[in-house]
Amino acid sequence: MTTTGEAHTDHVTGLTSGQVAERVARGEVNEVGERTSRSIGEIVRANVLTRFNAILGALFVLVMTTGSVADGLFGIILVLNSAIGITQEYLAKRKLDRLALLHAPTTRVVRDGRAADIPTREVVLDDLIELRAGDEVPADGVLLTSEGLELGEANLTGESDPVHHPAGDEILSGTSVVAGSGRYHAKAVGRDAYVNRIAAEATRFTRTRSEIQSSINTLLRYITWIIAVALPLQIWSQWSVLGEQGWQSVVLRSAAGVVGLVPEGLVLLTSVAFLLAAVSLTRDQVLVQQLPAVEGLARVDVVCLDKTGTLTVGEIAFEDARPVRGADAEEVRCALGALADDPNVNGTLAAVGAALQPPGWRRTAAVPFTSDRKWSAACFEDHETWALGAPEVLLAEDDPLRDEVAVLARKGRRVVLLARSSEHLEEPVLPADLTPAALVTLTEQIRPDARETLDYFEEEGVAVKIISGDNPQTVAAVAREVGLDPGEPVDARTLGDDPEQLREVLARATVFGRVSPEQKRAFVHALQADGHVVAMTGDGVNDALALKDADIGVAMGNGAQATKAVAELVLLDGRFAHLPKVLAEGRRVIGNVERVANLFVAKNAMSLLAILAAAFAALPFPFLPRHLTLVSTLTIGTPAFFLALGPNRRRYLPGFLGRILRFAVPAGTIAGLAVIASYVLSGRRYGVPPEEFSARCEIVRPGATVDLACIQPSTGATITLLVVFFWILVVLARPLRWWKAVLIGTMALLALLAFVLPVANAFFGFHAPGALVWQSLGIGCVGAALVEVVHRWALHWRRGSTGGPA
């Protein structure tokens, strides 16, 4: 793409359709190749080309070379896991991509003499672009016209104050319009635009921290190192014990141990849980722009809310304009109508304009409203200068009108002051001779579900801070209407920059008024410094920086594009009442992934202990791969899939990985010890003693005639392992519900059929005399009892460390 236009375009009519088509054909478009989700190829690679799939794939090939097809069953499970992961992610990708496309950022361009909103990615070189308050600047260029245009450039320069840009100024992509309007030609688009050349943070996500994903990654790193050490140990020990039987026996027993160390479905179930949660939320009009945000909101303990558009419907209505200091009522209404006669009005003037007709006054100069200034003004030919803004800013400190404003604010009215001046506006500075002309009151409608939503957060232990640019008394009145105790509302203009002071004030106060955009950002930093996980909601461009720095940024669907671009969650219909559903969905994901991770890690711990015991005691590994495939499928893989997607209302607690290791490692160790005890006792009492195994027993193949005594030790060990792991499953599935009982009961029945059906019995190579069964069940029950003890100890430790319920 080039960075200079090849043809002059009209400053009024813009490009023609033919010129646009030429530029699209040359690739001079604003597309930079960024995607909201992975491509199909990336999805396939992510689900197939993993280090654990590589390990299992290599083992599968080795097992197949032995001729024991039954022991390659884990290869089928491997393929099914990958297929399920690819299918689920692809279906979720389609839904999320369609929704993201529907709500993609747009840019207003002029083509063929007509203005139209188009997707930002379809902007082409030399397009005539219109900018209005709340827009992101989509491409670089030079301003042709400027009506008080001010850009927020903090993402590029770090400067928090908006910068005024007159016609002729160069403006850069990655900035956002804080106030005013303007037109310019796009002179650098796509990868040639400034923001893309420097990879600025303005268009790059700050990845949401995921405790689950970081913990799972840490866990997988540990397991990889364990496999690297255990694999040669397993091969050496099995060669020492079974070398006389040939390499096939060594491969099968070694493969069984390593297969047990691989958490083959853990990553799949974690990804599927996140994806399906995101898809589920789309049904509630919540667009998840980063999957970990689902989990992130569940970890939030402080939610910062704006009043307008969150607690209130957001559509303010003009109520009255009461003249003061002898001002003429008709002139006041004309001045208000004239100020509102502007295509780039803020919410207040839009409400005024909906109620009052413009008088036809000719505007000669203007200062647009910004959240920092908290006022706007305009000069009119033959009608002086008029300003409208916050009374606290426009009135003198000792003006008695301040008392009247306070009375109206305590009643929940939104109050702004109309003032006049004989001075002409030259710069965005208030005239010195401002004279109050009228108190203008506006009303807001409380959202009907606001009280219920805030009650939910209180029940869940999530603190709420109301942070608004309005009068503190007005904000407090709204807070009281929705059931919050506002205490003493804080006027943010009285706060300094000291972080310690902010932390102290935020700890004791709930309602803050007259908060500037930079203060919102400082509030987020102060809360985070105090150890809180912070969610910030917002809709205006002034909220963008605070949303970006919060742990979770939540934007309203009707908000500014600059705000939606940096948010992790977008409430498409603007209803704050959806947040409890997001929080519940996040808690469900965290709780369920913790459950299934316990199952996988317990299996890994059991296999590691069995490998070590077999090596140091010179024993054959107790299982063939088919045995562990049976146990894994019935007590881990299949139940984990359903548990990962089931309901879970447990509150979030920090320490995800620690809790898993605290239960799963001891439980897996108990299972491993029970397996070794059962294997040795079964061999000595009912089968072949371990020291004679190599000489008397060969590879067990389905349908082959074998010495039944050779298969009884593994049969006994499998029964014991099933008992212990079914109890681990029962413990982790609590509290039991009817569907969990049906699930566990079905898995237990299938396990029983593997021993009693002749075809299954022959396939798995089981033989269990009655005495052996009772012995194995007894050892398994002892192991299950010890698992229960470990579980109760883990619960007690959790209660003690958190000071609350487990």
Segments in 655-707 forming alpha helices (H): 656-686, 693-696
Please provide the size of the chain in residues: 806
**Cα–Cα distance between 763 and 704 in angstroms, integer?**
10
Q: Which residues contact 307 (CB under 8 A, 6 or more apart)?
A: 444, 466, 468, 470, 474, 475, 478
Q: Which helix (H) or strand (E) holds 613?
A: helix 579-616
Catalytic residue among 306, 539, 543, 549: 306
DSSP 396-443: -TT-THHHHHHHHHHTT-EEEEEEEESSPP-SSS--TT-EEEEEEEEE
| Residue 757 DSSP label | S
Tell the residue number behind the tokens 């001891």, with chain if given: 666
Asked about 140 being catalytic, the answer comes back as: no
| Strands 414-421, 385-389: pairing kind | antiparallel
Stated as kind and residue range, the H or E segment containing 376 is strand 375-380
Give Cβ neighbours of residue 58 (< 8 Å, ≥ 6 apart). none
Are the C-beta atoms of residues 501 and 522 closer than 8 Å to each other?
Answer: no
- Which two three-digit tokens encode residue 399? 């003006």
Q: What secondary structure letter does DSSP report for 192?
A: G
* Sequential DSSP letters for 75-114: HHHHHHHHHHHHHHHHHHHHHHHHHHHHT--EEEEEETTE
Q: Output the CA–CA distances (angstroms, integers) from residue 336 to 127, 361, 427, in the order listed.
A: 35, 11, 21
In terms of phi and psi (left: phi > 0; alpha: psi -120 to 50; beta: otherwise), the region of 639 is: alpha
d(CA 226, CA 94): 38
Residue in the structure block whose two tokens are 């009145």:
477
Question: Do the Cβ atoms of 234 and 619 come closer than 8 Å?
Answer: no
Cα distance between residue 354 and residue 296, in whole Å: 40
Rg of the chain over Cα atoms, rounded to whole angstroms, equals 34
Tell me how far apart the alpha carbons of residues 408 and 317 are, in angstroms, rounded to a whole number.
Answer: 15
Residue position matching structure tokens 């927020």: 152
Q: What gap in Å lies between CA 137 and CA 120, rounded to an integer?
A: 10
Can you say whether residue 683 is alpha, beta or left, with left for phi > 0 and alpha for psi between -120 and 50 degrees?
alpha
The answer for 127, left when phi > 0, alpha when psi is -120 to 50, beta otherwise, is: beta
Which residues form the catalytic set? 306
